[in-house]
Structure 1
Amino acid sequence: MTPRLPFARSHPLQTPAQLRALRERGGVHRVRTRVGHDAWLVTGYEEARRLLSDDRLGRAHPDPGNAARTGESALFGGPLGDFETEATDHARMRAMLQPQFSPRRMRAFRPRVEALTAELLDRLGRLRPPADLHRELALPLPILVICELLGVPYEDRDHFRAWADAAADVTDRARSEKGLADLFGYGRQLVDRRRGRPGDDFVSRLLADGVPEDEVAMMAMLMLFAGHETTVVAIGLGALSLLAEPAQWRALAEDPSLIPGAVEELLRWPGKGGGGIPRYARADIELDGVTIRAGELVLLDNGSANHDPAAFPDPDRLDVTRQAAHHLTFGHGLRYCLGAPLARIELQAVFTRLVPRFPTMRLAVPVEELRLHDTKLTGGLVELPVEW
């Protein structure tokens, strides 16, 4: 029987048993997506890494109306872009966005991220435990950061957060489409405001560069979604990973110099439920004894790849001293995540301050009782109750 996604999870941090069993049998497998469409699931590290940089895979499809889908999300559930111009469109978009995440700009922004983190931890410290670390830190920090980068008013956060949640819904197409339309409408309002009152922000700079306004609105809202949602998940699961392994928390408290390397391990370690990065084959591809036909859906499971023992010895063990920077959490190759430097700055700011400030922090409930969002594209924790 063909396995169907998503795989059942018994623990919020561990790789599902069915996914682990598939990876042990090989690097590429036939599966069905949550909407019942056929796809290839790539579970091995070498196979996923190779395909992430293979230009025979893309996000567009020559017949998008009949292409296999991963889910009902209007944002990432199916094909994106124009099949004929995808390569040039992608190169143009990256050329416009790359300067926004230049090393110089990110270095200049780091002190602001650190200050925002310190403010949130000060507020956390004034609370009487237990407290929800998701609500008090993991959620607000990435929103504050992306608001400052894009020039988005922080007081609008409840609106765009609700629209982003709707757009990411993988089970309700109408809700997802409405959320995406609301986000784009908000992006247009933001462009209108910045046209008359430019500032030192992402939207103002793209407008100054002559980028068409609808394109600026679209890119700004994609950045708003991707730039905060994925980092919210990474902070929450990273903190949970350490809290579930108290010896690792203590190791960082005793030696903060380990934190930059530990961040890479925290990006690698949390097990995922299967799926990964969607691509469509633009040509036939031979891989690991199977033939992937042009037009077929390919799911590059970077979470499974990050637990491949061929790439990471004893992969299911969290080790903050591990050299894990070659993980595939941000992808690889030409589509490597442009926001990776910013995500690393945020994660380093969080754990550099959180662990020394709260050396006795612990989970307030058993880890098995924690819930994950199972209808959202990015997943992540619903809450993270802690004590100290």
Structure 2
Amino acid sequence: MEHLQDPPAATCPGIRRITTPAGDPAWLVTGYAAARSLLADARVGRSHPDPDNAPRFSDSMLLGRPWGTVRTERTEHARMRRLMARAFSSGQSEALRPRIQEMTDRLLDELSGLPRPADFHQAVSQPLPALVIAVLLGVPAEDRDRFRRWSDDWTHAEDHERARSGMENLRAYMTDLVAAKRGRPGDDAISDLLSVADGSGEVTEAEVVALATTLLFAGNETTVAAIDKGVLLLLGHEQAREAVWRDPALAPAAVEEVLRARSPMPVDPATEQLGIVRYAHEDLDTGGAGIRAGDLILVRKLDANQDPSVFPDPERFDVARHPNPHLTFGYGPRYCPGAPLARVELQVLFSTLPRRFPGLRLANPGEPPRRQPGRLTPHPEHLLVTW
């Protein structure tokens, strides 16, 4: 790994050399074309040829070390994606739309009874994804507060003991749940995965636990952040709000713009340069950058989504933007399998809000909420709304 101590100078637009918060060199990718190319490149992965000496972004539980092995990562990733596709297909997500609508209506009923201003983050953004992923995986609804708390702990970038505890608690809980479902299967993704394990041997019970733990975490945290961002953007831009509130059929296009746009919340210095963590498995020449085998690559999808060569006037929040080929869910073979479910959740919520809360507005317009510090996912301390 000698080359990591002697990084080359900054190179082409959209890719530059940086030093991570952990003190290691990395390539920061912010251009759309380079980001899309690297996200789809089979020579780039989450594993590292020398994991003990791999460069790091930070010491966080999620980003502090490589995963898997170079020799098997590609085939293992393809196999696990086939399994996840069973739970996260577009058809399965659409089949859940009526249930998601019921959950959304119930949470909005509860919101309407709260004193104003009310905290939308606590009342809707946090519980909705937890309820949805609980239904998908067959997690008892009464356990949602526990796994939501553990999921929250896991995202801490600076409190490593708290992050480790959250990860271990989630894994232990899921181990018990998988064992219980083996004896009493239900109509849920975990039972479905167990039937595959029993029928074909394609997946082991330990892998079902690992996969379900990841789905429980990822399906909750990222959607919470997207809901918060959507509320801030839609209520913070009067023209966009008026358009969607006048015609809720614009909600699907508005959701895509929410996914593309930057969050109005302040940036956390601890995660300012954070991107999708990847390692080069071979020497690459992407956009003129001399990326070498073993190099750390941070793909900033949010920056790529602001590339003016792809998104005209990228800083403008335009709920009718078309086309909108954002990279928020990734690209190529690593495209997020949970994208269909996340889209359904966001579409249901943002098409229902205009009908249920025609006067919904931010309680403190022009004053972005403070971001919870040291978190990998951008959650506000409070998201106060009134109506």
The equivalent residue for 2:320 is 321
- Report the equivalent of 1:185: 172
Please tell me whether the aligned partners of residues 237 and 381 of structure 1 are also in contact (alpha carbons under 8 angstroms). Answer: no
1:117 to 88, 104, 125: 104
The answer to whether the Cα contact below 8 Å between 1:77 and 1:170 also exists between their aligned partners in 2 is no
In structure 1, what is the Cα distance between the partners aligned to 2:103 and 2:114? 17
Is 1:141–2:166 an aligned residue pair?
no
User: Equivalent residue for 2:154?
Assistant: 167
Pairing partner for 2:226 from 193, 217, 234: 234
CA contact (8 A) 1:252 1:355 kept: yes
Stretch of structure 1 that moved more, 333-342 or 237-246: 237-246
Q: How far apart, in 1, do the equivalents of 2:206 and 2:92 lie? A: 25
| Matched AA of 1:236 | D
Which letter maps to 1:202? A
Q: Could you report, residue by residue, the CA deviation over 1:195-238 in whole angstroms, capped at 9, with x for unpaired residues?
A: 11110011111111113211111111100000011000000101
Q: CA deviation at 1:366?
A: 4.1
- Determine the C-alpha separation between the residues in 2 that align with 1:324 and 1:142: 27
3-state SS in 1 of match to 2:96: helix
Q: 2:304 matched to 1:312? A: no
Question: Cα offset for 1:83?
Answer: 1.7
**Mapped partners of 1:143, 1:129: distance in 2:** 24
Q: Does 1:212 align with 2:204?
A: yes
Q: Aligned residue for 2:285?
A: 286
Partner residue in 1 for 2:301: 302
Q: Residue 257 of structure 2 contacts residue 319 of structure 2 at CA under 8 Å; is this kept in 1?
A: yes
1:336 equivalenced with 2:335 (yes/no): yes
Between 104-113 and 218-227, the greater mean CA deviation after superposition: 104-113
- What CA distance in whole angstroms lies between the structure 1 residues aligned with 2:363 and 2:63? 35
The residue type equivalent to 2:310 in the other structure is A
| 1:176 partner amino acid | A
Give TM-score, length-normalised by structure 2: 0.91
Tell me, yes or no, if the aligned pair for 2:306 and 2:314 is still in contact at 8 Å.
yes
Is 1:48 aligned to residue 35 of structure 2? Answer: yes
Corresponding residue for residue 17 of structure 1: none
8 Å Cα contact 2:148/2:220 also seen in 1: no
Q: Is the 8 A contact 1:29 1:40 kept in 2?
A: yes
Counterpart code for 2:205:
E
Q: Within 2, Cα distance between the matches of 1:268 and 1:324? A: 12
What are the superposed Cα offsets for residues 312-361 of structure 1, whole Å, 9 maximum, x if unpaired?
00000101111153100000000000000000000000000012322221
SS at match of 1:84: helix
Partner of 2:356: 357
The change in CA–CA distance for 1:136 and 1:324 in structure 2 (over 3 A counts) is farther
In the alignment, the residues of structure 2 paired with residue 78 and residue 366 of structure 1 have an alpha-carbon distance, to the nearest angstrom, of 40
Q: Larger deviation: 166-175 or 229-238?
A: 166-175
Match of 1:269 among 251, 255, 261: 261
Does the 8 A contact of 1:60 with 1:81 survive in 2?
yes
Determine which of 9, 12, 16 is the counterpart of 1:29.
16
Deviations along 1:161-214, one digit per CA (max 9) or x if unpaired, are 222222222123333222212211111111111111110011111111113211
- Of 132, 141, 152, 2:119 maps to 132
Tell me if the contact between 1:72 and 1:172 (Cα under 8 Å) persists in the aligned partners: no
Calculate the aligned-residue CA RMSD, in Å: 1.7
CA offsets 1:66-103 (integer angstroms, 9 cap, x no match): 11112222233321112210001001101111121223
The residue matched to 1:330 in structure 2 has which SS? coil
Q: Which residue among 150, 153, 173 is the counterpart of 2:140?
A: 153
Structure 2 CA distance for aligned equivalents of residues 117 and 175 of structure 1: 31
CA distance in 1, matches of 2:367, 2:352: 26
Any residues of structure 2 matched to 1:75-90 within 5 Å, and which?
75-90=62-77
Q: Please, which runs of 5 or more residues in structure 2 have no aligned partner?
A: 1-9, 198-202
Q: Is the CA contact 1:364–1:385 (under 8 Å) kept in the aligned structure 2? A: yes
Q: CA deviation at 1:298?
A: 0.3
Please tell me whether the aligned partners of residues 72 and 169 of structure 1 are also in contact (alpha carbons under 8 angstroms). no
**Selected match of 1:91 from 78, 82, 99:** 78
TM-score computed with the length of structure 1 as normaliser: 0.91
Q: 2: distance between equivalents of 1:340 and 1:104?
A: 12
1: CA distance between counterparts of 2:333 and 2:372? 30
1:251 aligns with 2:243: yes
CA distance in 1, matches of 2:150, 2:109: 29
